Amino acid sequence: MRPTGGFVYWVAPQTTEVTSMPQLLLSPRERQLLRARAHVLRPVVLLGAAGLSDKVMHEIDRALAAHELIKIKVPADAREVRAQIFDDIAEKLNAAKIQSIGKTIVLFRPEAASGEKEDAGGSMIHGDDERRGARAPSKRTKR
């Protein structure tokens, strides 16, 4: 077990395939909370006619590194094909499978850092401040 950003996750044992990374396993409660967070998201990666190429995998990896929780749109009509793509992405990129609804899949991979990031200006932003745009809370006065 490794704690990260309020979530506790377990790493599944590695499969017989050496090139893949273990997939993250989350508790049902954590998965439910992540599904709720993903509800308002729009897909950031759209798979095209080329399918799941190396360039697409790199783009998904980049999106997971930037956002942790992402939606991916898969154009395949066959449910089995979409499920296989979902499994392949999660296994190769060490991500947790959160949800698959229709042609949209949701993946989660916690960031490697402890919850602090460096923004473009070089200052440190803490986890909660990042969502609010790192602004100080406004002061309201009574009239």
Residue type, 28: P
The rounded Cα 69 to chain-centroid distance in angstroms is: 3
Q: Taking residues 59-66, report their average pLDDT.
A: 94
Q: Determine if the pTM surpasses 0.85.
A: no
Distance CA 36, CA 33 (A): 5
pLDDT for 16 equals 38
With contact defined as beta carbons under 8 Å apart, do 98 and 70 qualify?
A: no
CATH 3.50.50.60 for the 19-111 domain, yes or no: no
Distance CA 109, CA 103 (A): 20
More confident residue, 99 or 4: 99
Q: Are strands 69-73 and 45-46 parallel, antiparallel or unpaired?
A: parallel
Confidence of residue 24 (pLDDT cuts 50, 70, 90): confident
